Amino acid sequence: MKLPRLAPHVVDDAVARALREDLGDAGDITSNATIPASATSRAVIAARKPGVIAGVDTVCAAFRQVDPAIQIAVEAGDGARVEKGDPLFSLEGPSRGILSAERVALNFLGHLSGVATATAALVDAVAETKAQIVCTRKTTPGLRALEKYAALCGGGRNHRFGLYDAVMIKDNHIAAAGGITSALAAAKSAIGHMVKVEIEIDRLDQLEAAIAGGADVILLDNMSTEDMKQAVDINQARTVLEASGNVTVKTVRAIAETGVDVISSGWITHSAPSLDVGLDFK
């Protein structure tokens, strides 16, 4: 799997914010009181459940921001599939710093690996079909860029990042614009030539108007798999078809087998359980 490089500011800003949240003004009063400033330790971060890793850069940034003297060796990179007990990072350096950054590092790692693991579960379930699993804008506030990246680590793809980078015409837009045809026309006359346009339909009889209107992508919202299959047949590959609604590990295979191109899931970002990871001193 080929992963993009996260922009440094995305990682650094999120980690700095989390460290301020955890250290506050008084800092790590427990470690300061009980551990000598000169003490050093070796520690390992390991998986306590199987899963897919995401967030390596955030872990490194957390320790580095707290104390640049901490040495970090990455044992399992982003996208790695790991088993319970697998080592993920080896650390060595000032004990206080390791303990002060521990919780922030683990919170990022567990959360993002949770997203990657949930994504991978859907991706695995649609193996051998052509369907791509994509994440949505139903992300945790403040963490969208990192969660989008975590979905890639799990083998998924990204839908648009925000309201700003692609057009998605939903029912209320259609109603306000006076129908599918006029909504698509309005969108295409307003946007630049580098922006894609998707439109959401929930009935098969809307499909031809959407294709004719020049939609790059058509979202089949909460349709039955029967209807999705029909949509695929009608479409004849003229445009990209995306399915959404009631996408779970149990349902996703049947959706993929309808022949849709893309399946979008909010669950992988807004409800993925954290992957259990822990740090132990050696």
Q: Which is catalytic among the residues 42, 64, 137, 138? A: 138
Minimum separation from the CB atom of position 226 to its own copies (A)? 23
Q: Hey, how many other C-beta atoms are within 10 angstroms of the C-beta on 220? A: 29
Q: Which of 49, 64, 103, 253 is catalytic?
A: 103
Give the integer Cα–Cα distance in Å for 71 and 100.
15
Q: Name the one residue in this structure whose structure tokens are 């990455």.
A: 74
Nearer to its own copies, 95 or 206 (CB): 95
282 in catalytic set: no
Taking CB under 8 A as the rule, does residue 42 contact its own copies?
no
Distance separating alpha carbons of residues 143 and 10, to the nearest angstrom: 9
Q: What is the closest distance, in whole angstroms, from the C-beta atom of residue 4 to its own copies in the complex?
A: 4
For the segment 220-259, give every residue that binds its own copies (CB under 8 A).
240, 242
Residue with tokens 């954290």: 274
Integer Cα distance of 74 and 56 in angstroms: 8
Which among 170, 188, 196, 229 is annotated as catalytic?
Answer: 170
Query: What part of residues 163-182 is at the interface with its own copies (CB under 8 A)?
Result: 163-177
Q: In the window 53-112, what residues touch its own copies (CB under 8 A)?
A: 58, 65-66, 95-96, 99-100, 103-104, 106-108, 110-111
39 binds its own copies (CB under 8 A): yes
276's CB contacts (< 8 A; 6+ apart) are: 47, 48, 49, 110
Instruction: Note if 147 is an active site residue.
Output: no
49 is catalytic: no
Enclosing H/E stretch for 44? strand 40-47
Active site residues: 103, 138, 170, 200, 221
